Structure 1
Amino acid sequence: MSSETGSASDIHLRDVVEKLPATGHSPNQSIALDERCSATPEQQDAGDAAVVQMSKIRWLCICVGWYLTAFLYGLDSTIAADVQGPILASLGNLNMLPWVGTGFLLGSVATISLFGSLYNRLEVKWLYLGSIVAFEVGSAICGAAPDMKAMTVGRVVAGIGGAGIYLGCMTYISIFTTPAQRPLYTALISAFWGLGAVLGPVVGGGFAQSKATWRWAFYINLVLAAVTAPIYIFWFPRHGAHGQQRILPRIKNLDWLGALLNAATFALFITACTYSGSQWPWDSGSVISLWVMTGVTVILYVLQQWTAFLTTKEDRIFPVWCLKSRSLVLLFIGTAGSSAVNFFNIYYIPLFFEFTKGDGAITVAGRLLPFIFLLIFTALLSGALLPKLNLYAAWYVISGLLALVGSVLMFLISAATPAGNIYGFEVLIGAGCGLTLQAAYSIALVKAPAEKATSAISFINVAQLGGGALALTIAGTVFQNVGFNTLQSALSGRGYSSSEIRAALAGGYSAIISNSSPEVRGITLDAIGSTIANVYGISVSGSATVLAVGLLMRWEKVKMT
C-alpha cells in the first residue's frame, strides 16, 4: 500500500486516527488511511481496501465541518427567540406562534432515535450529507414561508435535519478519535453549539431590524452551506460496515412501528402542553383528548419496546439494553437535567431583559454572554480534564451545586433586580451547566460495549434533545398560564380583553406594551418579570436533578485511554 508522497506506511485506521490530531508531520505530509470499514471482508483480507490521504490539512477541514454544522444547529435552536415578534407581525396567527420555537426541537427529539438506528446501518457520510440537505430545505421553507403553517413545517423539517447532523457529528467523533481525545472533541461540539446559540438572537434580531427582514435569519443557512459544501462532499471520509449491500435490505428490519410511536409520543406531549390553558381551557374536550391520546401512546410505546412487537430486541428503536446499566441510566437523567437548564436559560434570560429592561435584539444577546462564555469555558475545561481527573461523579455534583445555587437566585429576582446581580447568577448557572452538558457522551462510550457505541450515543442524544425540548415546552405552558393569570389580575378593571393580555405575553408587538400609558406598561412588565422568575422553577428542578444524579453515581474512575 502506498501514499502519494511515498513515505506513509500501511497503518490501521485506529492507529492513524490516534496520531492525527497531535501529529508532528508538516501540514503538507499525508498519511495513508485504510478505510477498511467501507470494504467487504474479502477486500479487507486481500488488502485491497480503498485508500485516501488523510493529511493534517484534511483533518483540520473535517473538524471545521463538524463544528460549523454544530454552530448552525445551535444558531437555529435559538434564532427564534428574537424573531417571533417580527414573524407574528408579518404572518399573523398568534395561536401558532409557539411552534416557531418548539417546532425545531420537536423535529429533533422525535427523530433522534431513528437516526441512531440509521447510523448503525447506512453509510455515515451519505446520511450526514442527507441530514444537511434536510436542514437546509427546512431553512428555505422558513425563509419563504407565506403563512405560519408553512413556517411550522419548515421548523420541524429543519429540526429533523439538525438531529441527523448532531448525531452524525457524534458518530464521526466516536469513530475517528481515541477515548482519550473524545472528551475534548465533544466539548468543542458544545462550544460551537453554544457560540451559535448566543449568536442566534443576535443574527435573528439583526436581520429582523434590517432591510433584509427576518427571512434572512433562515436564508443565511443556505449561504453558509453552499460555501462549505466541498468539505462535506469531497473531504469527509466514508465509514460503513455494509458498504457493498443495497440500502433496502439494510433498513427493512428497522423498528418502524417504534419510530412512529416515539415521534407520536413527543408530538402529542408537546402539542398538549402548548395548547393547554393558553389556547383551550384545561377542562375542554380538546385538551382532555390530547392528554388521553398522549398517555395511551406512551403506554403503547413502552409495551412495544418492552415486547419487541413487530421488531427484534436487537433492532428496537430505543436502546432498551441501556436501561439495565445503572451508570447509563444516571448519565441519561443527568444529561436531560443539564440540557433542560441550558435550553431554558438561553431562551428565558433574553426574554427577561427584553420585557423588564426594554432591550433590543443586540443588547439582549449581550446580556446572555456571561452565561454562554462560562458554559463554553467549563465545557472545554471538562473535556480537557475529564480524561485526567476521571472521577466523573464529582463533575456532576459540582455541576449540580453551581447550577442550583444560580437557579435559586434567579428564582428570587424581580424587575428591579440590578443587571449586575443577574450577570453573577448567569455565571453560576453557565459554569455548572457546562461541566456536564457533553460529558456523558465520553463516559457512556467507555461504559458501553464497543459494538454498541452508536446506540449509546443515541441514548444520550435522546436525553439531551428530549430534556431541552420538554423543558422549553413545560416552561412555555407555565409562562402562558401563570403569566396570563398574573397579568389579568394586575390589569383588572382597565378594560383589556383576554386576547390582548395573551398578545402581551408574545412581546413588544402587542398594544398593551407598545401603545399603552407608562403606568400600564410598567405594571405589565413587572407582572411578566415576576412570571419569568417563577418559571425559573424549571431551571431549579433541572439543576437539582443533576446534583441528585451525581450523589447516586458510583464514585469510580473510568479509563479514557
Structure 2
Amino acid sequence: MQGKQQKRGLVLASIMLSMFLAAIEATIVSTAMPSIVADLGGFSLYSWVFSAYLLTNAATVLLFGRLSDVFGRKPVFLFGISLFLVGAVICALAPSMKVLIAARLVQGLGAGALMPIATTIVGDIYTKEERAKIQGYLSSVWGISAVTGPALGGFFVDVLDWPYVFWMNIPLGLLALFGIIFFFKEDVSKEKRSVDIAGSAWVVITVSTVMIILVEGGVGIDWDSWTMVSMIVVAFTGAIVFFQHERKTDDPMMPMDLWHIRSIRYANLTSLTTGMILIGVSSYLPAFVQGVMEQSATVAGFTLTTMSIGWPIAATIAGRLILKIGFRPTAVLGGVSLIIGALIFSLLSPEKGPWFAAMGSLFIGIGMGLSSTSFIVSIQNSVSWQKRGIATATNMFMRTIGSALGAALLGGILNSQVAGAVEASGLPDSFSVDSANALLREETRNELGHEALHVLQDGLTSGLHLVYIGLLVLAIISFLLILQIPKKED
C-alpha cells in the first residue's frame, strides 16, 4: 500500500506540474502581451494570440478525451505535453505576430490533450471520497502557480525580454513528461471502440468559422459582405451536421446522453459563460492598466495575480465545502462571487487605479475556484471509467469554447470601439486600430502627441468599459444557470 501511495503521490506531482504549465500560460502571456505587441506590431491581431490557442484547444479537447477512453490516458497525455512544448519553443523564437499566432495554434493542440487528461487521471487513481479533496488541491496548484505568472511576466518584460515567458515552459514540461513516463501505470480496457474522426472534423470547421466571424466581423470583413454571409452559413451548417452526426454514430465524439444528466448539463452550460468571463479579465486587463492607467507591466501583472490568489484559496475551501454542504451550495457561492467581481469591473475607470482592478480580479478568482472544482467532482462522480475522460473533456470543451468565443467577441467589441474613436476624431489616415500599440510603452506613448493620445485612450477606455459590462451580464447568467443544478446528484 505504501508503494502504491508513493507512486500516486509522484503521479499527482507530475499532473500538478502540467497544470502549472496551463496556469503560467493563462497569466504570464496576458501580462507580456502589451510588450509583445509593442515589439512585433499588429494590435488588431491582439485577440488572435489568445483566440488561436483557444481555437485548437477547443477543437481537439473532445477528440483527446475520447482517445484517452479508447487508448488510455498515458499516451494521449504524453503526446499533449510534447506538442505544447514544441509550440512554446516556436513562440519564443517568433519573428512576427503571424508566426506567433501559428505557434499558438500548435500550443493549443497540446493543451487540448493536457488539461482534460490531467484531471481525468486524478479521477482514475483516487476514490470517489478522495476526489473532492484532490481536485481542490489540483485547482489550488493551478492557482498558486498562476500567482507567479503575472509577477514573472512583469519581471521578464521589465528586466529581460518577452520570449522568456515561453522558454519557462520547457523545464517544467520535461519534468511532467518524465514523471508520467516513469511513475504512471494504467490498465487499459481491451474492448474495441472506434474514434469519431468525422465528428472531430465538424467541430474544427464550426469552431474555426465562428471565431473568424467574431474576431474579424466589422473590422477585417464587412458584416454585409458575401464572405461574411457564406461564413455564417458554414458555421450554422457545421453545428447542425455535428449534432445530427453525434446522435447517429455508435461511438460519438460527445455522447448526447451526458447532457441528460442534469448536474452535467448545467455545469457545462455554466462553464461556457465562466470561460467567457475568465478570458475577458485575463486578456484585456493588462492592456487597460498599461495603456490607459499608464502603469508598468509589473503593476499590470499584479492586478491579475489577485485572481490567481483567490482561485487556489477558494478551490481548496471548495474541496472541503463539497463534502460538508454539497456541490450546489458551493457552486452558488462561486456564482455570487463572480457577480461581485464583474460588478467591480463594470465600475472600473482610469482614476480608480490598479487596486480597484485587483479587487475585481480577486472576486472573479474566488468564483472560479468554488464553481470549477464543484463541477469537475460532480461530473466525475456521475459517470463510469469508460466515460470519465469524455465527460471531463466535455466540461473543459465548454469552458474553452466560452473562452474562445469570449476572446473573439470581446476582442471584436474592443477593436470596433477603438476604430470608431479614431474615425470620429478627424485624426490623419495614418492612424488606425493598430495605433493603439503606441499606448503600451511609455516612450511610444510620449511620441503620440496630446490629441492622438487622448483619442486612443478614450477609445480603449470606452471599448473596455463595454467589455466589462458584458462580463457583468455573463456573471448574472452564470448564477442563474448554477441555480438550476439539482440539490442531489442524478
Please confirm whether the aligned pair reaches a TM-score higher than 0.5, indicating the same fold: yes
Aligned residues of 1:198 and 1:372 also touching (Cα < 8 A): yes
User: Which amino acid in the other structure matches residue 530 of structure 1?
Assistant: S
Aligned residues of 1:415 and 1:530 also touching (Cα < 8 A): no
**Which has the bigger relative contact order, CA under 8 A and spacing at least 6?**
2
Q: How does 1:85-234 map to 2 (within 5 A)?
A: 85-93=34-42, 96-211=45-160, 213-234=161-182
Q: What's the offset of the Cα at 1:124?
A: 1.9
Partner of 1:406: 341
Q: Does 1:441 align with 2:376?
A: yes
**Distance change (3 Å), C-alpha of 1:116 and 1:537:** same
User: Which amino acid in the other structure matches residue 76 of structure 2?
Assistant: L
Aligned residues of 1:353 and 1:359 also touching (Cα < 8 A): yes
**Distance change (3 Å), C-alpha of 1:329 and 1:156:** same
Q: What whole-Å deviation, never above 9, does each CA across 1:375-420 have from its counterpart, x for those lacking one?
A: 2211111112202211x22223322222213312321332222444
Q: 1-side partners of 2:174 and 2:360: how far apart?
A: 40
Aligned residues of 2:71 and 2:188 also touching (Cα < 8 A): yes
Aligned residues of 1:382 and 1:439 also touching (Cα < 8 A): yes
Determine which of 333, 336, 361 is the counterpart of 1:426.
Answer: 361
SS in 2 for 1:318: coil
Q: 1-side partners of 2:406 and 2:313: how far apart?
A: 23
Aligned residues of 1:140 and 1:218 also touching (Cα < 8 A): yes
Q: Does 1:542 align with 2:474?
A: yes
Determine which of 430, 449, 459 is the counterpart of 1:517.
Answer: 449
Q: Does 1:500 align with 2:432?
A: yes
Partner of 2:389: 454
Q: How does 1:352-367 map to 2 (within 5 A)?
A: 352-367=288-303
Q: 1-side partners of 2:136 and 2:435: how far apart?
A: 39
Aligned residues of 2:414 and 2:463 also touching (Cα < 8 A): yes
**Distance change (3 Å), C-alpha of 1:362 and 1:515:** same
Q: 2-side partners of 1:219 and 1:228: how far apart?
A: 15
Aligned residues of 2:80 and 2:113 also touching (Cα < 8 A): yes
Q: 1-side partners of 2:350 and 2:470: how far apart?
A: 19
Q: How does 1:322-341 map to 2 (within 5 A)?
A: 322-341=258-277
Q: 1-side partners of 2:354 and 2:29: how far apart?
A: 24
User: Which amino acid in the other structure matches residue 537 of structure 1?
Assistant: I
Q: 2-side partners of 1:289 and 1:197: how far apart?
A: 41
Q: What's the offset of the Cα at 1:123?
A: 2.9
Q: What's the offset of the Cα at 1:196?
A: 4.2
Q: 1-side partners of 2:56 and 2:145: how far apart?
A: 19
Q: What whole-Å deviation, never above 9, does each CA across 1:536-559 have from its counterpart, x for those lacking one?
A: 13322331122112322322368x
Aligned residues of 1:396 and 1:546 also touching (Cα < 8 A): no
User: Which amino acid in the other structure matches residue 183 of structure 1?
Assistant: A
Determine which of 323, 328, 331 is the counterpart of 1:396.
Answer: 331
**Distance change (3 Å), C-alpha of 1:436 and 1:228:** closer
Q: 1-side partners of 2:356 and 2:162: how far apart?
A: 32
Rg: which structure is higher?
1
Q: What whole-Å deviation, never above 9, does each CA across 1:282-323 have from its counterpart, x for those lacking one?
A: 223333332222122112212222333xxx1xx100121112
Q: Does 1:78 align with 2:4?
A: no
**Distance change (3 Å), C-alpha of 1:95 and 1:289:** farther
Q: 1-side partners of 2:232 and 2:23: how far apart?
A: 31
User: Which amino acid in the other structure matches residue 310 of structure 2?
Assistant: L
Q: 2-side partners of 1:189 and 1:450: how far apart?
A: 20
Partner of 2:307: 371
Aligned residues of 1:339 and 1:437 also touching (Cα < 8 A): no
Determine which of 237, 245, 257 is the counterpart of 1:321.
Answer: 257
Q: Does 1:477 align with 2:423?
A: no
Q: 1-side partners of 2:174 and 2:382: how far apart?
A: 39
Partner of 2:17: 68
Partner of 2:232: 291
Q: Bigger CA drift: 517-526 or 253-262?
A: 517-526
**Distance change (3 Å), C-alpha of 1:459 and 1:230:** closer
**Distance change (3 Å), C-alpha of 1:150 and 1:512:** closer
Q: Bigger CA drift: 476-485 or 448-457?
A: 448-457
**Distance change (3 Å), C-alpha of 1:510 and 1:296:** farther
Q: What whole-Å deviation, never above 9, does each CA across 1:61-104 have from its counterpart, x for those lacking one?
A: 22221111101112123333233344445544555443222111
Q: What whole-Å deviation, never above 9, does each CA across 1:493-514 have from its counterpart, x for those lacking one?
A: 3x23375344316852699834
Gaps of 5+ in 1: 1-15, 17-29, 32-53
Q: Bigger CA drift: 373-382 or 394-403?
A: 394-403
CA RMSD of aligned residues (A): 2.6
Q: What's the offset of the Cα at 1:174?
A: 1.0
Q: What's the offset of the Cα at 1:171?
A: 1.4
Q: What's the offset of the Cα at 1:451?
A: 4.0
Partner of 1:463: 398
Partner of 1:300: 241
Q: What whole-Å deviation, never above 9, does each CA across 1:444-497 have from its counterpart, x for those lacking one?
A: 1223345422232122121222222222221111111123224543xx13x233
Q: 1-side partners of 2:113 and 2:473: how far apart?
A: 29
Aligned residues of 2:48 and 2:101 also touching (Cα < 8 A): yes
Q: Bigger CA drift: 97-106 or 125-134?
A: 97-106
Q: 1-side partners of 2:83 and 2:198: how far apart?
A: 22
Q: What's the offset of the Cα at 1:115?
A: 0.7
Q: Does 1:529 align with 2:478?
A: no
**Distance change (3 Å), C-alpha of 1:458 and 1:226:** closer
User: Which amino acid in the other structure matches residue 352 of structure 1?
Assistant: F
Partner of 1:553: 485
User: Which amino acid in the other structure matches residue 115 of structure 2?
Assistant: Y
SS in 1 for 2:219: coil
Q: Count how many residue pairs are aligned between Structure 1 and Structure 2.
A: 490
Q: 2-side partners of 1:188 and 1:506: how far apart?
A: 41
| Greater helix content | 2
Q: 2-side partners of 1:542 and 1:506: how far apart?
A: 31
SS in 1 for 2:483: helix
Aligned residues of 1:501 and 1:512 also touching (Cα < 8 A): no
Q: What's the offset of the Cα at 1:132?
A: 0.9
Q: What's the offset of the Cα at 1:134?
A: 0.9
Q: Bigger CA drift: 264-273 or 393-402?
A: 393-402
Q: 1-side partners of 2:363 and 2:186: how far apart?
A: 41
Q: 2-side partners of 1:109 and 1:94: how far apart?
A: 24
Aligned residues of 1:333 and 1:545 also touching (Cα < 8 A): no
Identity %: 21
